[in-house]
Amino acid sequence: MHPSKLIVLLAAPALVSTAGAQTLKHEDAVAFLKEAVAYYQTHGRAAALREFTLPSGKFRRAGGELYITVYDQSGKCLAHGQEPAKVGVDALNSKDPDGKPFIRERIETAKAKGKGWQDIQYKDPRTGRPAPKAMYFELHDGLVFGTGIYKKG
């Protein structure tokens, strides 16, 4: 096993046990996404996309705040840990409540830079209302993997 994968796997239990009790940080999102990518690489595309979308799966944590999304480069949703009904939907032109074409922007940035952060408004699973969210994403195997943290205060 590559040392960086071991670090991600060793850090994961701490994230599980403490994420709900404290404010999540950017590094929590990065570690969570890297854990998801490692899972994808070891379990394969079909199994990983299925696991990422399960409402009670391994990749839904912190009261639902942490979950994984995966889009192909055309904007089709392949996995969505908060809203499974979005799987299979062409979301390229989706806009957040502020009118930001966030999926298109995320894909373009991922293709150009390989990874990045994005500020959006998205439904907070704890309140059901749009809230400021920082999304972290990376391009792997031609797919855009993402996760995020809701900004507090």
Q: Residue 51 is part of a domain; what is its CATH number?
A: 3.30.450.20
- pLDDT for 126 equals 81
| 77 pLDDT more than 80 | yes
Q: Is residue 152 part of a domain?
A: no
In a domain, 93, yes or no: yes
pLDDT band of residue 6 (cuts 50, 70, 90) is very low
Residues in contact with 62: Cβ distance below 8 Å, sequence separation at least 6, in sequence order: 19, 20, 24
What share of the chain has pLDDT > 90, as a percent? 75
- Nearest-Å Rg of the Cα atoms of the chain is 14
Residue 22 pLDDT level (bands cut at 50, 70, 90): low
153 in a structural domain = no
Question: Chain centroid to CA 139: how far?
Answer: 12
The pLDDT score that the predictor gives to residue 124 is 86
Q: What pLDDT score was predicted for residue 23?
A: 84
Residue 88 lies in a domain: yes
Give dist(CA 122, CA 113) in Å, integer: 23
73 falls within a domain: yes
Provide the residue range defining the domain that includes 44: 3-144
62-91 average pLDDT score: 96
Strands 130-140 and 143-150: antiparallel
Per-residue model confidence (pLDDT) at position 125: 81
Mean pLDDT of 7-33: 63
CA distance 41 to 44: 6
